[in-house]
Structure 1
Amino acid sequence: MRYVGFNFDALCRRILELCPGADSISNCKKIEGGFNRVFIFTLNDSKLIVARLPFTLAGPSQLATSSEVATIQYLQAKTTIPIPTILDWSNECSNAIGSEYIIMEHAEGVQLHKKWPEMAGNERVRCIDGIYRKLREMVGLKFPAFGSVNFEASLPPDCKKQPLGGGFCVGPHCAPRYWNCNTSEPRYYYNTQPNQGPWTTLNEYCDGLVDAGISRIPPNDCAAEKRALYHGSVQEHLSLLECTRSVLKEMCTHPQIQAVSTPTLFHPDLHKRNIFVSEDDPSKITDIIDWQSVSIEPAFWYADEVPDFAIPDDSENNVCAKAFDTCSRFLTPKLSGPRLMDEDLFRPFLYGYRTWKDGVVALRHELIETTRRWNELGFAGSSPYSLPSPNELAKHEREYKLFVAAQDLKHDLSSLLNTATDGWVPLDNWEATELAHEEVFDGMLTAVLTNKNPDHDEPVKDEGVLRSIWPYDLKT
């Protein structure tokens, strides 16, 4: 999934062609990311140039690259958000380099995560304020549809789009969830057609989410015996998703949801590593990077996004969390409003496209909770989803506990082994990580097997259950 075939010498030549003040490359640093292979070139005139080559799992070929470039150029034209200048790009693998690529100037300043530990509390507050004063400009932009910003000229003639002027448009949504671009999560179009936007109404947007969920469901589940108990059958997934479609359409009529569903462009990965600040004054924002997955979503879509610089820390008396809350509330109220509302108003929207990955129990749980509070949340009549019987609810609760245990296990393993959540490990760390992975599993298996009297509420009681929820491949 992360293989990129390309001509490195041709890439080096192109770098020098774009920088006539330099005649050689003195150093090159390679960085392996989750969605790109990145090279940072140091030229003999000390200039730094960044080249990014996307993996296929980053999004739809051609569209994802042109969308990222279009988004950056649109923001540079409409806002004062500091973003490194793009020097060259191509969304055609037929070029001399042999891969899609973006070549851009290196961000100015230093990454915020490097300066953060030495920053005083008042500097951190000023920095957070500076971030949101810049992002306020982006949040204030108006769009006619949900999807991804793109160049009109980069889209096929028969592709749906909503013009923005100046050669820009809202085109198909380029997030991987809508595309068959990940070999470990194939798409099937037996029960639905591709539905990738753009969508001009919230109802259409919800159909896109549900159709994305249906497209992940295979005609037959050949691996059913190896899956966790809570995963559910093909028919269970299809039935629940069609019911979800009806529930979401009813929920879209809620005045509160309508009020916070404005098409909004925002950075979904606004963490310290993607923010650059001045070396001398770290409260001054010099650049913001990583615009690859930026898209136009309903404003409430970002309600759960809390940057790492805003996570509460008792040692700081939560000063950064309070600064984030204040700045977000006063500078980007379109985003902070949904955070103040009942989360059950939005949670069914967030899980419909990923039931085959999470298991049917996750979405079912959200529908149960929302249905139980249907009238309390302000919906008229009754929910299109019928609550399970008492016996079915008891079974669901057991399965949901196991699901939560599986999610906690995946999070803990990812942190312990220092891997991406999908199990990706840098090549240099592979052998040590794989050895540690085996040792952790053996240790947990021993704990399960030697626990002769597990608690009644313990969801993992035997080896079979442990193996079924283990998130990474095991040799034995």
Structure 2
Amino acid sequence: MTIQEQFGLVEQLMQFEAELASIQFPAKGSLYLCESMTDVEPWVALDRTVDPSGQFCIGPSCERAWSAQGKMMAPPSQVKNGPWPNLSSFGLALLERERLRIGQQSLVSTFGPPRGSVDEQFAVLNMAKGVMSRLETVTLINRVSRPVLWHTDLHMGNIYSKPEDPTKICSLIDWQSIVVSPLYLQARFPEFLSVDDDYVLGLTEEPKLPQDYQDMDANDKKLAELKFEYTKMSKFYELSTANQHLQAHHAFLMPQFTRELFIRCGEVSEEGAIPLRACLIEFADAWNELGFLGECPLSFSEDIRKHDQLFQDYRDFHRVQEIARKLLSTDSEGWISPQLDFAERQRMNTELLQEIMRRSNEYNKATEVIRSIWPFREKA
């Protein structure tokens, strides 16, 4: 597929996303056929202007995080897993789910990132409740929280185009875990577009070659040119989004910590109190700028420097974990592709651990701490 054909594909994809996001949904949850719902399952029918045949409804979320798979979970009757009529009800249900999970844990795990005590986890969830309960007021967040259907895993393997015309999409697959959720939590660039940390959002920002481009050797120039082409494609997608679905572009511009609120709330039982507390500190700092009325309900009387140190420990832990996964070409569970030599990966694991332990000061850890948080065992 040529660069020009890829631009054509991106344009059609954006048109499809805008059309899909224009559908008015009555609640947040998953899309079902009405006839598939049982008498005990809550659901909300789509408006007849959207669904004249009356076949579809919004019911409980199908996301794995709301099921009992692989997790200790309270009885379903105690967990409000959708549909949720508004952003606040969704956030409060998320908090209650995590509260129930924490209450069912017999011990705080000794492995993993620093989590804080159970009391600290409950305390930070209570603080988040003060924010969640205010999300239905008119704020910057509320303006981009309409429930939409958005495919959040659009890589090239999920997009099928016509062989005779690659710019014409004929099918998008892998919808089984896609949900109807707030726009600003859903809207994102497709996976296949290059949006690095140095990508600058904005309608007036034009992609440019690196300032030292002329000083690069031939190979580096080729890489810079390739990145430049893909960055232009990402900017084209962003501009098309602003043109066809302005609210989605507004959602792109929302501060990251406003999305992190829901992500961090939903993982307190696994990741602990520290990342959510960091997110709430950012909320407190930007309370008025986000458009909230009245006094901020968040108060951090503890030493902020103490929190900063705990958060640094948390980030250092995940930095070590990420290095192991990336360099060993694996995931958090240690899965190795059949195309790779497993024994060779075991050897690499041992050597990599020894190297990271040798450089432990770079990760602000003692050598034995590095060993204790390393995600994979050494080969005996």
TM value normalised by structure 2? 0.81
Query: Aligned-pair distance for 1:280?
Result: 2.9
**The one of 236, 250, 255 aligned to 1:337:** 250
Runs of 4+ in 1 over 6 A off after TM superposition: none
- Trace 1:215-294 onto structure 2 (pairs within 5 A): 215-222=100-107, 224-228=109-113, 230-294=114-178
Query: Aligned-pair distance for 1:471?
Result: 3.5
Q: CA RMSD for the aligned pairs?
A: 2.7
Contact 1:177 1:212 (C-alpha < 8 Å) held by counterparts: no
Query: Aligned-pair distance for 1:239?
Result: 1.9
Is 1:133 paired with 2:15? yes
| Cα 1:440–1:425 shift into 2, 3 Å | closer
**The one of 367, 374, 379 aligned to 2:280:** 367
Map Cα deviations across residues 382-421 of structure 1 (whole Å, 9 max, x no partner): 322211422xx22221221222233333333333333344
Letter in 2 for 1:307: E
| Cα 1:474–1:380 shift into 2, 3 Å | farther
| Cα 1:187–1:441 shift into 2, 3 Å | farther
Contact 1:139 1:265 (C-alpha < 8 Å) held by counterparts: yes
* Alignment partners' CA distance in 2, 1:402 and 1:310: 30
**The one of 55, 67, 89 aligned to 1:204:** 89
Is 1:382 paired with 2:270? no
Contact 1:211 1:353 (C-alpha < 8 Å) held by counterparts: no
Letter in 2 for 1:414: R
SS at match of 2:120: helix
* Alignment partners' CA distance in 1, 2:138 and 2:167: 40
Contact 1:221 1:234 (C-alpha < 8 Å) held by counterparts: no
Query: Aligned-pair distance for 1:267?
Result: 0.5
Percent pairwise identity: 24
Contact 2:30 2:179 (C-alpha < 8 Å) held by counterparts: yes
Size of the aligned set, in residue pairs, is 345
- Trace 1:283-322 onto structure 2 (pairs within 5 A): 283-311=167-195, 314-316=224-226, 317=228, 318-322=231-235
* Alignment partners' CA distance in 1, 2:319 and 2:23: 38
- 5+ unaligned residues in a row in structure 2: which ranges? 47-52, 197-222
* Alignment partners' CA distance in 1, 2:244 and 2:97: 33
**The one of 327, 332, 348 aligned to 1:439:** 348
Determine the structure 2 residue equivalent to 1:327. Answer: 240
Query: Aligned-pair distance for 1:435?
Result: 4.9
TM value normalised by structure 1? 0.66
* Alignment partners' CA distance in 2, 1:471 and 1:187: 25
**The one of 338, 347, 364 aligned to 1:459:** 364
| Cα 1:330–1:189 shift into 2, 3 Å | same
Map Cα deviations across residues 121-173 of structure 1 (whole Å, 9 max, x no partner): 22211110011112222111111000000122222212110012532111101
Q: Which has the higher contact order (CA 8 A, sep 6+)?
A: 2
- 5+ unaligned residues in a row in structure 1: which ranges? 1-118
Query: Aligned-pair distance for 1:474?
Result: 5.8
* Alignment partners' CA distance in 1, 2:73 and 2:347: 31
Higher strand share: 1
